[in-house]
C-alpha cells in the first residue's frame, strides 16, 4: 500500500536539506527505489518534505541511508507523519 510521508523540519535549515540531497546523490540514492514522488518547500527558515512511497517497507529501507546523512549534515532526524494513500491523480 502506498504511503504519504511528511517531514516537517520548520526548525531546520534549508542548507541542511541541500547538503543531504547532494550526499544522497553521491551515494546513488538521489532517486531511491520505491519513492514515487518528492517535493520540498521552504517553511519559515526551515523546510517541509512530502514524499509518496510505494510502501512503508520501501521508505524504511531508504531511511537506513537517509538517517546517517541527516545526522552528518547536522540536522535532526524528524519523526515523519505517515498516512495511507487513498488516491493519486497524475498531471498531464
**Domain layout of the chain by residue ranges:** 3-77
- Within the chain, where are the H helices? 14-26, 56-72
Q: Could you read off the pLDDT tens digit of each residue along the chain, which spans 92 residues?
A: 999 999 999 888 888 899 999 999 999 999 999 999 999 999 998 899 999 999 999 999 999 999 999 888 887 788 999 999 999 998 88
Cα 58 from chain centre: 12
Q: Is 44 left (phi over 0), alpha (psi -120 to 50) or beta?
A: left
Q: Which fold has domain 3-77?
A: Alpha-Beta Plaits (3.30.70)
Strand order of the sheet with strand 81-84? 35-43, 46-53, 3-9, 81-84
Query: What is the rounded CA–CA span in Å between residue 62 and residue 64?
Result: 5
Amino acid at each position: 500500500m502506498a504511503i504519504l510521508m511528511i517531514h516537517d523540519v520548520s526548525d531546520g535549515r534549508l542548507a541542511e536539506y541541500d547538503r543531504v540531497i547532494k550526499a544522497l546523490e553521491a551515494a546513488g540514492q538521489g532517486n531511491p527505489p520505491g519513492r514515487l514522488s518528492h517535493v520540498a518547500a521552504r517553511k519559515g527558515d526551515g523546510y517541509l518534505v512530502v514524499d509518496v512511497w510505494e510502501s512503508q517497507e520501501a521508505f524504511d529501507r531508504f531511511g537506513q541511508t537517509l538517517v546517517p546523512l541527516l545526522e552528518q549534515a547536522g540536522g535532526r532526524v524528524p519523526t515523519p507523519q505517515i498516512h495511507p494513500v487513498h488516491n493519486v491523480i497524475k498531471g498531464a
